[in-house]
Chains A and B, each alone.
Chain A
Amino acid sequence: MEAAINVALLVFLAGTAFSILRRTTLFSVVMLSGVFSLVSAALLVHLDAVDVAFTEAAVGAGVSTVLMLSTLALTSRHEAPSTRSRAIPLIVVFLTGLALVYGTLDMPRFGDPAAPIHQHVAPRYISATAQEIGMPNIVTAVLASYRGFDTLGEVTVIFTAGIGVLLLLAGTIREPATATKITAMDHHLVLRVVTKVLIGPILLFALYVQFHGDYGPGGGFQAGVIFAAAFIIYALVFGLETASRALPGRAVRVLLALGVLIYGGTGVVSFFFNKNYLDYSVLGATAQAGQHIGILLVEFGVGMTVAAVMVSTYYAFAGQNPPIGDEEW
């Protein structure tokens, strides 16, 4: 039964990828990529990766689609037919695919418990999490504590990408104060009412995911994206100027840096107690309590930076000249 679900979802993914290849209307390509992300999130749940599926659904089917649509609004809507020959890419791709399939023949079979990947570090993490860290979600424990250095690097990468987007697009952002007065969606009454009803629960859910990441699927990355989604939907329905008054661009940039500072700073605190960088055991009365506090702090920093990056990226895209009217769609 499980194999049937697996095969069905994978075949569906392959079909979606082929449709993306064939379509020339960029709008349908972007929508299909959202479908692709959502189906891969379903497949990830089936493969027991619930945290990963959560992130993929929020990021891939949510924020990524919004950013691509904003880009489409600023560029073009159709793909020009290609004049170059398709033979060489096809041959290259086919040969590479064959070589890779030949490589997979040696791999351990899907689901094999005796595969090398399950032998060295993973059993230690699974068995030691209960005593050393004391939280049920092993993925969060590994992410924030055992592999805390990796996560610090990733947060810095996200921060750098946010800075890069701001650098690239800052010169062409129209100032909210001097922009032409745009009445945002005056005739979309249903959307405005429902958005107002939903923004509160969305923000609450983001906080829940942030602080509940120790006990179930969740954590800083997912919470940051959901938090940003609330502000993005507010900006979409009520206009960028109104959203900038609720969460100004300057505040977002401060939050962007503050998240990384909190993460890095939590590691520096251990220096004052003669321990290694990012050794959380000094932060509390016992080593386990210290781990809890440390993981809470670093996840908070991660969530803050991720939310700020998503919001500032959306502000940068949406603030570009010229604003589009309804009739241009």
Chain B
Amino acid sequence: MIALIVDAASWTFLLLGAFLVLVGALGLVRMPDFYTRLHPAGITDSLGADFILTGLILQAGFSLVTVKLFLIGAFLFFTSPTSTHAIANAALVAGLKPRHATIPPRPAEKATQGEESR
């Protein structure tokens, strides 16, 4: 009985993760602006991948493979949002403006420091 529940749960997670990856890919193609495109791309890496990994963990049961999958999930949990942030930050610093928004002016002392650093 328990095995059936675990199997069903793992299938749910896998299908949800696959759906989110598909949504991310679709959003990447269809969104109009750079920053709006970045959001679905971020979903693919973080939530989609983590759901798929959770589904795989439930499939693997209690073994060494589960520990490794969990570590991969933790690593992705740290790095995927960071990389999305890095891309958005790089675009903002380079001067790419979102299409319909206005960026509030930076505080004075950060403006001069931001220009000369890499």
> Chain A residues in contact with chain B, CB under 8 A?
182-188, 190-191, 194, 197-198, 201, 239, 323-327, 329
Contacts and interface: CB of A to CB of B under 8 A. Distances in A.
13 contacts: A183-B117, A185-B117, A187-B110, A190-B86, A191-B82, A191-B86, A191-B89, A323-B118, A324-B118, A325-B115, A326-B115, A327-B94, A327-B115
A37 to B, nearest CB: 17
Given A183-B113, A186-B117, 4 more contacts: A185-B117, A186-B113, A201-B75, A326-B115
A4 to B, nearest CB: 15
Given A186-B113, A327-B115, A194 B93 contact: no
B90 interface: yes
Contacts of B114: 186-187, 326
A180 B93 CA distance: 21
Nearest to A202: B75
B117 A326 contact: yes
Q: Which 10 A-B pairs have the closest CB atoms?
A: A183-B117, A194-B82, A186-B117, A326-B93, A329-B94, A190-B85, A187-B114, A191-B86, A182-B118, A184-B118
Interface of B: 75, 78-79, 82, 85-86, 89-90, 93-95, 110, 113-118
Nearest to A193: B82
- The dominant DSSP class at the B interface is helix
Contacts of A183: 113, 116-118
A47 to B, nearest CB: 21
Given A239-B118, A329-B94, A188 B113 contact: no
Nearest to B74: A201
B118 A187 contact: no
A327 B95 contact: yes
Contacts of B79: 194, 198
Contacts of A327: 94-95, 115
Nearest to B82: A194
A79 to B, nearest CB: 21
A326 B94 contact: yes
Contact of B113 (A182, A187, A197, A323): A187
Contacts of B95: 327
B78 A325 contact: no
B117 A197 contact: no
Contacts of B82: 190-191, 194
B118 A194 contact: no
A187 B115 CA distance: 10
B94 A325 contact: no
Contacts of A239: 118
Contacts of B113: 183, 186-187
Contacts of B89: 187-188, 190-191
A326 B118 contact: yes
A185 B113 CA distance: 10
Contacts of A187: 89, 93, 110, 113-114, 117
Contact of B90 (A201, A323, A324, A329): A329
B89 to A, nearest CB: 6
Contact of B117 (A184, A194, A329): A184
A232 to B, nearest CB: 15
A182 B117 contact: yes
Nearest to A328: B94
A324 B115 CA distance: 12
Contacts of B90: 326, 329
B8 to A, nearest CB: 21
